[in-house]
Structure formats: structure tokens, C-alpha cells
């Protein structure tokens, strides 16, 4: 049985917006941290304006993109540029363990909430800034969206076919990668604080985290002077290694052969055609040398099967293999995702019942407990009066003054 | 910062990066390899292109900041030794097929009975449970099943994976975070737990747009090269310029960078009718696709007349949200990364060589987070760890070596 939430008792004051910042605090919130998202009614989080929307109605509380990046959080609206808003932020920082932000570098300090200021309010505060290129250095002012990290860090030049321009995936990949390091940084900082009583300031970037994900290519350059380029679906240590056609329209199967055992398995699955025993395909090295021809012959074989039937044959022969799936497979049919409740149905106050993404990390005793995402300012009354102890009278006064806008 | 914590790293290439992240943070990460060395030592690229288990740059990249021992955990004596080692550990990270560790008598329940504080993180293709848990899979298979190849590539070619082994790196990074979550819980609870990471689900999470597109619009994106789908439309995001490529995206929900581009074009007499608009009142969301495309084309034509450096400079000054597409040599020479001290020379005495590694995963004001030393040679720390630290005698070690346990 679950003991309790992993991050129970941890409070996060969250200024971050759009993709990479909110995803980091989403994971903390899913594991039980109280994440208070500070929003503005005048300058809404761009994530709230990102498609798709429920019933195709553009509205800050109807964005599925926002919902998926902000589960389990609380939302307040606050004019952080008004002196009274500044005072409220200070109160929030006082009850927080972590402050997270993803403004263009320098902006948070100008607002009066730089790390040095926050330390005066709460000496052991942990603060993380998430940016594309870093808080320091000549290009610190660089700003861009999720694709910037992949572009600057060398990823895009590796993506695609050798005979064509780079191909960019349909996601802002760095927005997925960077938050994983931000979460690690914050959890590590909590551990450090527990041991030493000290907070810290964390500077995570899209470019530097993305570089970790092409580390072998980086070393290949520094050690050998090689500038790696695009190799399509191939792998330096397997052959065949690719996506092969099956019967039907746009149906495909991925398969990969890394060692002799798997090659024998594939040959068995193909019912040992004569070509498969030719010396040009006998070893991994020779298969790499004759990969064009190898892929053609395998594609001729795979094209005679429905993709599910082919995967069954390949799995029986213990060859790494699986069908190319699309989002409808994942959302509507996939038995693995269903059994592990990778999407969980919850009711959002405006969107209604819909899928919510569960972290792909299962903790046996303290699993994530995903809640829905907040509407704009949904938790104003709770946070201001209950958590910060602002009296009802003062709350109404501040409300009328437009501080909660 | 994780100084004082010990990690036993039994992963293969699926999980290498997890231990590397923890090792850079100061944990004592011990890579436990099979006698003779991990088969992943045969993964290219190699130093000076010479295939050799001690020259794999892939191995170096993901196993720096770790020590290394060899151990046959399928042998009873090896299992006993592993249990002793695990008594000294805070974390075990492993990527064997589900059930393998239990079969060796080294499952979580057996090990945590001896060491209740132990945290065990497993990184497997589909996780420890579910109908697919025993399927044979590899990186490209998981990417394909997770929907990432379906949306990547050109319509006239097969679905395309990303490059290198992105699914493994994603899962390893999630695993590092999950491991530290379990560590946080250990403070209050006093006990460890299991962390089950499904590489497949990591990919499904990375593929964040498509499942919501399907759920909310019942539409699927087909492979479309450099186009980026947002809502019901697709926008090209990679553009040739004078001397390379840049990425830029017209986002109808964000008018500022578009306006900044038009202002720059106006200064150079290339803004056409868009230069005459009152941009305070422009809402791109209300524009027809044709209107959006016409402006995008004008911006693309303008991009084609400028160099990467000019475009990058203008983007920083004007907020165009444009990015150069760097190859790895340009990454290595990038003045921002140099200014932040991103590269650190690591010595490889056996190769008679010293070369740069990425120094850190993130910067912090307290404690250290950086790559510390090169990856271990096969069995490099056997004597140090089994002998000095666990107190095994020289004779015992020699005997274990001869029996093939080490």
C-alpha cells in the first residue's frame, strides 16, 4: 500500500511557463509536491493558448496541451509587478521550499525575485532557472521555443536521411529532455538541503542537457575529429536495423538484429532463404557493409505479412521487433499502456472527463497520484486566505484593487 | 553532492546514463560488469576508429564518473559476493529482463531483507508488469511502438527514428529522477523501495502532442519532413539560409516574434505589405492559412539572404525566436558554451590521450556537479573494492578470478 505521496510537505512557487519549466514542476506535483503556479490574467501562459482545445474553442481553460503539462498543480493569478503583488510573492516564498522560473534570463531579478533577494526572505530556498542557453555567457539573452534546444545542441544535424536535409520531429524535443534534469537537480538540492541546511541556485539549459543525449557524437568529435551526420534508421552496432514495410497502407514493422543469436532467429523466422546464408551477410560487419542489399531483401519478405502477424513471427524467433503505432493505437488500444494505466481518466472542471498522463516512473511505495490541471486562478481563495493567512477583508480589498489579475 | 551514497550499476546501454548522472553528482557509482566486460563495450564509435572493448567512445561517454568491477552474478559465489556488495549500497540500477534478478536470488525482496534502505531502480523496455513485459525490443522498436517514428520522417520514406539511442537516454534520465525521489522518501520512511521505469512509457510521454491531437480532434499527423503540427495546421520549422540552416516557426498564438521579424524586414526594405500593418491589432490566429503561409514565405525568402551568424545575432537582439542548426563541431566551438566552461579535459593514460567531455548536466551554486574521471577499464577496481573495501584476501580474489567469478 502506498505510504503517502513522495514529495508530501514540499511547496513549490512556480513562475515557469510554456513547456520545459511546467513539465518539471508537473512531475514534482504528480508525486505530491504542492506546486503553486503563479499566473497573470493579462499575460496568460502561452501553454494555455496551445492547441488542441476542448471542442476546438480557444480558451485558457480548454487547452489539452496545458492540461498535460500542468497536472496536479494549483493556480493563482497575481500581478507580480504591483508592489502589493510583490509583497504576496514574498509571503509565498517564505512558505516554499523551491522557486522555479523560466523567464528570459535576467527578468526574474528585475522583478525583484532574483536568488539573492529570495535568500533574504528564506535563507535555505532552492531556486531553479530554466532557459535555452543559460543565465550567464554572451548569448544568455537568447530566447526561443522548444525546437531551439534541439537545433543549437547538434541534434537536428543528426536527424534524418543521409541524402536529405535534416528532418525535425513534430515535438519540441528539448522541452521533454530538459525537465528531466531540472527534476533531478531539484531533488538533489532537497537532499543536499536536508544534509547541510543550505539551499542553492540551479541553472539548467536546453542546450547543455540536450548535449548529454548526443554524448557519443560529442566524444567522436573531440577524440577523433569526426562530425557525425545523418544515418536514417541505421545503428552503428546492429544490422539489419530499421523500419520495414508490411501489407496494407502505411503499415510498418521495426526490427533490429544486434548479435549472432538474433540473426539466426531472423533467418529462422524467414524460413532460412538461400540468400541469408551467403557470406556477405554472415557477420555483423559484413551485414553492415552490404546493408542496402540486406534491407531490400528483408523488405521483400516483410511486405508479404500484416504487421501484427509479422511481429508475432519475429517475437517467436526472439528477434527485437514491434509494430509502428500511431497515437490512436496508444490512446485507444494498447494493452500495455492500459494495464499500467499510463493514461488515467480524470475529470477536469471545464474539459470534463479526459486522459491525463502518468509519469513513466513507478515507485512501489509512493507512486505518483495524478490530479487534474488547474483553471486560471482556481486556487486564489485557498492559497491567499488559507495558506498565506490573508484575512477575508484584505482579500476582497486586494481583489478590488486588481492585485489578483 | 551525492557524496557518500553508493550505486551499483548493472545496466547495459539502456541504463548507462542514469548512473552517469548520479556519478557526476558525486555518488560512488560502481559499474558491475560480467567477467570479460560488458558487451556494450563493443558499441561504436571507437577511439581512432579501432574496435576494442577498451576504446569505445560510447562506453566512455556514458560510464565516466564510475568505478568498475567484474562479477558473474549467475554463479552462486558471485551471488554471495553481490549480496555483500549490495549491503554497502544505497541504490542498485539494473536493466535485465523482468524476473532475471529474482532468478539469481538477487531480487528486491531478497536484497532489501538484508538492507532495508536499499533503493532498486529497474529500466526495462516495457516495465516490470503488463502483457508486453517479456517482449524482445530494442531502441528503434520502442520508438516505433511509442508513436515517435510514425510522426518523424518524410512521407515517401519509411517512418524514421531519432538518432543514436534517444529512448534509452530518456529512460535513464527519468530513472535518475525516480531514484532521487525514492531517496527523498527514504528520509521520512527510513526504507527504500523499487523504481520501475518503462522505456516505452518514457517514449509515449516524449510523444506529447499526438495523443492529445487524437483524443481532442480525432486527427493523426502523417510524416511531413520539417513541418510541425500545431492544432489543425502544420508549419515548416527548418529553413535554408545563406550558409546553413536555421529553425524558425510561425506560431499564430505568439505574434511577438513575427512582428519583430517584420520590423527587421521593414528596415531592410523587404517587409512588403506586412510592413504597413498595425501590428498592435494583428491576431495571427484569425488569419487564414493562406495569409499565414504568404507571410511565412516572405520571412523564409528574407532568411535565405542572410547568414547563420547574422540571423542568430538578430534573433538575440530582436527576439525572433530563431535558432541556428549546429553540427557537433559548431557546438564544440560555440562561444556561449565555451564561456560557461562546458568542456572538461579528461585523461586517458592508457590511450596516451586527453580529450574534452561535456563538463556538467546543469550548473549549481552549491556542491559539485561535473564529470569526474574516465570510465573504468574491465575489472579495474576489483582489487580496490573486493580487496580493500570488502576485505577479501588476495588468495580468495585469485581463486574467484580463476573460477571465472570475477
Q: Which of A130, A127, A129 is nearest to A99 (CA)?
A: A127
Region A74-78: what's the mean pLDDT? Answer: 98
Residue ranges for chain B with pLDDT beneath 50: none
Contacts A188 to B, Cβ<8 Å? 1-2, 25, 180, 369
> What spatial distance separates the first Cα and last Cα of chain A, rounded to whole Å?
42
Give CA B227 to chain center in angstroms. Answer: 24
Query: Do A28 and A132 belong together in one domain?
Result: yes
Contact B171/B98 with Cβ under 8 angstroms?
A: no
Considering only CB atoms, B148 lies closest to which of A56, A169, A220, namely A169
Q: Which cell numbers in the block locate residue A207?
A: 542546450
Q: Is the CB of residue B119 less than 8 Å from the CB of residue B186?
A: yes
Q: Secondary structure of chain B in the HEC alphabet?
A: CCCCCEEEEECCCCCHHHHHHHHHCCCEEEEEECCCCCHHHHCCCEHHHCCCCCCEHHHHHHHCCEEEEECCCCCHHHHHHHHHHHHCCCEEEECCCCCHHHHCCCCHHHHHHHCCCCEEEEEECCCCCCCCCCCCCCHHHHHHHCCCCCCCCCCCCCCCCCCCCHHHHHHHHHHHHHHHHHHHHHHHHCCCCEEEEEHHHHHHHHCCHHHHHHHHHCCCCCCCCCEEEECCEEEECEEEECCEEEECCCCCCCHHHHHHHHHHHHHCCCCHHHHHCCHHHCCHHHCCHHHHHHHHHHHHHHHHCCCHHHHHHHHHHHCCCCEECCCHHHHHHCHHHHHCCCEEEEEEHHHCEEEEEECCCCEECCCCCCCCCCCCCCCCCHHHHHHHHCCCCHHHHHHHHHCCCC
Residues 166-225 of A with CB under 8 A from B: 166-171, 173, 176-177, 180-185, 187-192, 194, 196, 198-205, 207-209, 211-224
Q: Is the same domain home to A51 and A20?
A: yes
Question: Are A63 and B217 a contacting pair, CB within 8 Å?
Answer: no
How far is residue A13's CA from residue A5's CA, in Å, rounded to a whole number? Answer: 18
The answer as to whether A129 is a domain residue is yes
Q: What are the residues whose beta carbons fall under 8 Å from the beta carbon of A72, sequence distance 6 or more?
A: A26, A29, A30, A35, A369, A370, A371, A372, A373
Q: What pLDDT shows up at residue A2?
A: 46
Whether B45 sits inside 8 A of A331 (CB atoms) is no
Length of chain B: 406
> Which residues of chain B neighbour A219 with C-beta distances below 8 Å?
45, 57, 60-61, 355, 357
Q: For the full predicted model, state whether its pTM sits above 0.90.
A: yes
Quick check: bond before B347 cis, omega within 30? no
**A147-160, pLDDT tens digit by residue?**
889 999 999 999 99
* Mean pLDDT, rounded, for A7-12: 97
Question: Under an 8 A CB cutoff, do B162 and A205 touch?
Answer: no
Domain contains A221: no
Cβ separation B191–A365 shorter than 8 A: yes
Among partner residues B137, B226, B253, which is closest to A167 by beta-carbon distance? B226
Domain contains A194: yes
The answer to whether A383 faces chain B, any CB pair under 8 Å, is no
Beta carbons within 10 angstroms of residue A399's beta carbon: 14
**Are A78 and A208 in the same domain?**
yes
d(CA A258, CA B345): 32
A44 near B CB under 8 A = no
Q: Which one from A14, A61, A97, A175 is the annotated catalytic residue?
A: A175
- Tell whether A268 is covered by a domain: yes
Interface test with A, best of B140, B187, B226 (most A CBs within 10 A): B140
CA dihedral B282, B284, B290, B294 (to 10 degrees): 70
Q: How far apart are CA B331 and CA B329, in angstroms?
A: 5
- What's the pLDDT score for residue B231? 60
List, in order, residues 6 or more apart from B388 with CB less than 8 Å away.
none
pLDDT over threshold 50, residue A1: no
Residue showing cell 531519432:
B162
Query: Is the Cβ of B304 closer than 8 Å to some Cβ of chain A?
Result: no
Q: Does B90 contact chain A (CB < 8 Å)?
A: no
User: Which has the minimum average pLDDT: A76-90, A138-152, A183-197, A224-238?
Assistant: A138-152
CB within 8 Å of chain A, chain B residues 144-163: 144-154, 157-163
**A235 in a structural domain:** no
Active site residue A175: yes
Provide the grid cell at A323: 509494430
Chain A CB within 8 Å of residue B292 CB = no
Report the distance separating Cα A106 and Cα A117, nearest Å: 13
Chain B stretch 94-123, residues whose beta carbon is closer than 8 A to a beta carbon of chain A: none
Q: Mind telling me how many Å the CA of A274 is from chain B's nearest CA?
A: 26
Residues of B in contact with A64 (CB under 8 A): 212, 215-216
- Residue A220 covered by a domain: no
Among B27, B116, B158, B322, most A C-beta atoms within 10 A, so best to mutate, is B158
As for how many domains chain A has, the answer is: 2
Inter-residue contact A383 to A371 (CB < 8 Å): no
Helix axis angle, A173-196 to B199-206, nearest 10° = 120
Q: Residue A167 is part of a domain; what is its CATH number?
A: 3.40.50.10540
Domain check: are A97 and A30 in the same one? yes
CB–CB of B335 and A139 under 8 A?
Answer: yes
- Tens of pLDDT along A162-194? 999 999 887 889 999 999 999 999 999 999 999
Min mean pLDDT across A108-122, A299-313, B71-85, B241-255 is at B241-255
Residues 6+ apart with CB under 8 A from A292: none
Examine the domain organization and report whether A125 and A263 are in the same domain: no
Q: What is the largest CA-CA distance in chain A?
A: 87
Residues A118 and A204 in one domain: yes
| Buried/exposed code over B330-346 (b: 16+ C-beta within 10 A; e: otherwise) | bbbebebbeebebbeeb
Closest CA to B344 of B336, B355, B353, B333: B355
Is the CB of A106 inside 8 Å of chain B's CB atoms?
Answer: no
* pLDDT tens-digit series, residues A17-57: 988 999 999 999 999 999 999 999 999 998 999 889 999 99
Q: Is the pLDDT of residue A300 over 70?
A: yes
A252 touches chain B (CB under 8 A): yes
Residue B314: closest C-alpha in chain A: A142
B277 CB near a chain A CB, below 8 Å?
no
Same domain flag for A202 and A247: no
Interface test with B, best of A204, A223, A229 (most B CBs within 10 A): A223
On chain B, the residues whose CB falls within 8 A of the CB of A322 are: 135, 137, 141-142, 144-145
% of chain A with per-residue pLDDT over 70: 99
Tell me which residue of B96, B125, B97 sits closest to B203, measured CA to CA.
B125
Q: Is residue A50 part of a domain?
A: yes
Tens-digit pLDDT profile for residues B104-153: 999 999 999 999 999 999 999 999 999 999 999 999 999 999 999 999 99
**Is pLDDT of A3 > 60?**
no
Same structural domain, A188 and A131? yes
Strand partners, B119: B91
Residue A43 lies in a domain: yes
| Pairing outcome for strands B119-124 and B194-198 | parallel
User: Quick check: A65 and B212 CB within 8 A?
Assistant: yes
Q: How do residues B3-52 score in pLDDT, each as one tens digit?
A: 999 999 999 999 999 999 999 999 999 999 999 999 999 999 999 999 99
State whether A209 and A349 are in the same domain. yes
- CA–CA distance, B175 with B353 (Å, rounded to integer): 32
Partner residues linked to A37 by β-bridges: A14, A75
* Closest residue to B193, CB basis, from A65, A160, A365: A365
Interchain CB contact of B181 with A (< 8 Å): yes
A395 min Cα distance to partner chain B (Å): 33
Nearest CA to B29 out of B53, B11, B44, B54 is that of: B11
- CB–CB of B358 and A183 under 8 A? no
B194 DSSP β-pair partners: B120
Under a CB-based contact definition with an 8 Å cutoff, are residues A133 and A159 in contact? no
Do residues A145 and A36 share a domain? yes
Residues 6+ apart with CB under 8 A from A400: none
Task: Name the domain boundary from A301, A328, A355.
Answer: A328
Domain ranges, residue A304: 241-328
A294 vs A240, A268, B138, CA distance in Å?
7, 16, 19
Q: Quick check: A144 and B140 CB within 8 A?
A: no
Pick from A147, A198, A203, A202: nearest CA to A177: A147
> CB distance B164–A158 less than 8 Å?
yes
Query: Both A368 and A313 in a single domain?
Result: no
Contact B81, B54 (CB under 8 A): no
Nearest to A328 among B21, B139, B220 (CB): B220
Count of Cβ atoms closer than 10 Å to residue A197 Cβ:
9
pLDDT category of residue A375 using cuts at 50, 70 and 90: very high
Interface confidence, given as ipTM, is 0.98
Most distant CA pair in chain B: distance in Å?
87
CB nearest to B182's CB, from A173, A314, A363: A363
Same domain? A182 vs A72: yes
CB pair distance less than 8 Å for A224 and B48: yes
Question: Tell me, what CATH number does A249's domain have?
Answer: 3.30.1540.10
Nearest-Cα distance to chain B for A379, in Å, is: 25
Smallest Cβ–Cβ distance between A217 and the set B164, B214, B229 belongs to B164
Mutate to test the interface with B, among A210, A330, A356, A366 (most CBs of B within 10 A): A330
Which of A303, A328, A353 represents a domain boundary (last residue)?
Answer: A328
**Domain termination site, one of A328, A350, A374:** A328
Residue B17 and residue B169 in contact, taking contact as beta carbons nearer than 8 Å: yes
C-alpha cell at A101: 522560473
CB contact (8 A) between residue A53 and residue B216: yes
With CB atoms and an 8 Å threshold, state whether A366 touches B217. no
Question: What distance in Å separates the CA atoms of residue A209 and residue A207, rounded to the nearest whole number?
Answer: 6
Domains contained in chain B, CATH given? 6-205+340-402 (3.40.50.10540), 237-327 (3.30.1540)
Give chain B's radius of gyration (CA, Å).
26
Q: Are strands A34-39 and A11-14 parallel, antiparallel or unpaired?
A: parallel
Instruction: Give the length of chain A.
Output: 405
- Closest CB to A325: pick one of B17, B145, B339: B145
Contacts of B21 in chain A (CB under 8 A): 181, 184, 212
Residue of B62, B175, B208 lying closest to A176 (CB–CB): B208
Amino acid at each position: 500500500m502506498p505510504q503517502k505521496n513522495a514529495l508530501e510537505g514540499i511547496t513549490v512557487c512556480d513562475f515557469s511557463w510554456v513547456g520545459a519549466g511546467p513539465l518539471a514542476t508537473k512531475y514534482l506535483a504528480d508525486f505530491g509536491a504542492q506546486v503553486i503556479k503563479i499566473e497573470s490574467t493579462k499575460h496568460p501562459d502561452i501553454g494555455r493558448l496551445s492547441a488542441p482545445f476542448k471542442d476546438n474553442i480557444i480558451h485558457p481553460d480548454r487547452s489539452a496541451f496545458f492540461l498535460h503539462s500542468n497536472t496536479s498543480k494549483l493556480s493563482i493569478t497575481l500581478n507580480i509587478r504591483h508592489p502589493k503583488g510583490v509583497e504576496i510573492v514574498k509571503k509565498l516564498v517564505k512558505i516554499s521550499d523551491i522557486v522555479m522560473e523560466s523567464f528570459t534570463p535576467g527578468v526574474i531579478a528585475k522583478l525583484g525575485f532574483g536568488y539573492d533577494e529570495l535568500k533574504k526572505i528564506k535563507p535555505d530556498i532552492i531556486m531553479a532557472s530554466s532557459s535555452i542557453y543559460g543565465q550567464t555567457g554572451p548569448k544568455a539573452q537568447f530566447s526561443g521555443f522548444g525546437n531551439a534546444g534541439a537545433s543549437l545542441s547538434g541534434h537536428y544535424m543528426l536527424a534524418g536521411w543521409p541524402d536529405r536535409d535534416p528532418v525535425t520531429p513534430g515535438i519540441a524535443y528539448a522541452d521533454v529532455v530538459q525537465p528531466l534534469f531540472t527534476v533531478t537537480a531539484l531533488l538533489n538540492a532537497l537532499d543536499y538541503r536536508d544534509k547541510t541546511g543550505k539551499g542553492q541556485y540551479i541553472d539548467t539549459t536546453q542546450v547543455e542537457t540536450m548535449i548529454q543525449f548526443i554524448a557519443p557524437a560529442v566524444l567522436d568529435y573531440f577524440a577523433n575529429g569526426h562530425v557525425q551526420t545523418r544515418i536514417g534508421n541505421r545503428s552503428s552496432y546492429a544490422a539489419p536495423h530499421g523500419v520495414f514495410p508490411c501489407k496494407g497502407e502505411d503499415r510498418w514493422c521495426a526490427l533490429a538484429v544486434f548479435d549472432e543469436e538474433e540473426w539466426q532467429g531472423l533467418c529462422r523466422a524467414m524460413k532460412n532463404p538461400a540468400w541469408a546464408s551467403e557470406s556477405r551477410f554472415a557477420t555483423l560487419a559484413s551485414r553492415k557493409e552490404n546493408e542496402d542489399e540486406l534491407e531490400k531483401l528483408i523488405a521483400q519478405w516483410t511486405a508479404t505479412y500484416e504487421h501484427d502477424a509479422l511481429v508475432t513471427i519475429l517475437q517467436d524467433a526472439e528477434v527485437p521487433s514491434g509494430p509502428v503505432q500511431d497515437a490512436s493505437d496508444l490512446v485507444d488500444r494498447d494493452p500495455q499502456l492500459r494495464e499500467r494505466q499510463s493514461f488515467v481518466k480524470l475529470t477536469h472542471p471545464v474539459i470534463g472527463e479526459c486522459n491525463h498522463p502518468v509519469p513513466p516512473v513507478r515507485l512501489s511505495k509512493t507512486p505518483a497520484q495524478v490530479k487534474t490541471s488547474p483553471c486560471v486562478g482556481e486556487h486564489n481563495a485557498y492559497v491567499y486566505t488559507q495558506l498565506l493567512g490573508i484575512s477575508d477583508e484584505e482579500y476582497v480589498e486586494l481583489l478590488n484593487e486588481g492585485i489578483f489579475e | 553532492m551525492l557524496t557518500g551514497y553508493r550505486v551499483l550499476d548493472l545496466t547495459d546501454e539502456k541504463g548507462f546514463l542514469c548512473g552517469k548522472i548520479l556519478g557526476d553528482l558525486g555518488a560512488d557509482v560502481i559499474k558491475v560488469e560480467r567477467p570479460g566486460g560488458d558487451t556494450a563495450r563493443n558499441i561504436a564509435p571507437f577511439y581512432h576508429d579501432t574496435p576494442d572493448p577498451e576504446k569505445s567512445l560510447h562506453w566512455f561517454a556514458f560510464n565516466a564518473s564510475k568505478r568498475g568491477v567484474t562479477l558473474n552474478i549467475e554463479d552462486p559465489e558471485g551471488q554471495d559476493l553481490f549480496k555483500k556488495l549490495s549491503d554497502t549500497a544505497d541504490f542498485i540500477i539494473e536493466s535485465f529482463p523482468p524476473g532475471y534478478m529474482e532468478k539469481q536470488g538477487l531480487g528486491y525482496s531478497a536484497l532489501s531483507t538484508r538492507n532495508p534502505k536499499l533503493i532498486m531502480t529497474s529500466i526495462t523496455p516495457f516495465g516490470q508488469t503488463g502483457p508486453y513485459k517479456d517482449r524482445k525490443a530494442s531502441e528503434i522498436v520502442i520508438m516505433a511502438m511509442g508513436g515517435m517514428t510514425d510522426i518523424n520522417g518524410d512521407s515517401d520514406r519509411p517512418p524514421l527514428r531519432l538518432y543514436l539511442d534517444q529512448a534509452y537516454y530518456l529512460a535513464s534520465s527519468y530513472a535518475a529522477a525516480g531514484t532521487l525521489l525514492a531517496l527523498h522518501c527514504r528520509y521520512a520512511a527510513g526504507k527504500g523501495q523499487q523504481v520501475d521505469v518503462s522505456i516505452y512509457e518514457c517514449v509515449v510521454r516524449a510523444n506529447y502532442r499526438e495523443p492529445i491531437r487524437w483524443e481532442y480532434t480525432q486527427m493523426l499527423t502523417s510524416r511531413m519532413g520539417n513541418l510541425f503540427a500545431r492544432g489543425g495546421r502544420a508549419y515548416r520549422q527548418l529553413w535554408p539560409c545563406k550558409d546553413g540552416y536555421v529553425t524558425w516557426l510561425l506560431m499564430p498564438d505568439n505574434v511577438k516574434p513575427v512582428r519583430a521579424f517584420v520590423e527587421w524586414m521593414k528596415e531592410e526594405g523587404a517587409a512588403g505589405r506586412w510592413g504597413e500593418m498595425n501590428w498592435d491589432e494583428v491576431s495571427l490566429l484569425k488569419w487564414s492559412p493562406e495569409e499565414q503561409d504568404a507571410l511565412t514565405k516572405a520571412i523564409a525568402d528574407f532568411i535565405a539572404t542572410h547568414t547563420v551568424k547574422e540571423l542568430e545575432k538578430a534573433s538575440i537582439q530582436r527576439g525572433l525566436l530563431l535558432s541556428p542548426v549546429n553540427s557537433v563541431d559548431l557546438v564544440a566551438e560555440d562561444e556561449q558554451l565555451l564561456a560557461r566552461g562546458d568542456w572538461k579535459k579528461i585523461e586517458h593514460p592508457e590511450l596516451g590521450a586527453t580529450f574534452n567531455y561535456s563538463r556538467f548536466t546543469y550548473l549549481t551554486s552549491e556542491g559539485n556537479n561535473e564529470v569526474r574521471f574516465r570510465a573504468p577499464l574491465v575489472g579495474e577496481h576489483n582489487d580496490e573494492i573486493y580487496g580493500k573495501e570488502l576485505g577479501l584476501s588476495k588468495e580468495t580474489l585469485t581463486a574467484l578470478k580463476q573460477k571465472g567469478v570475477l
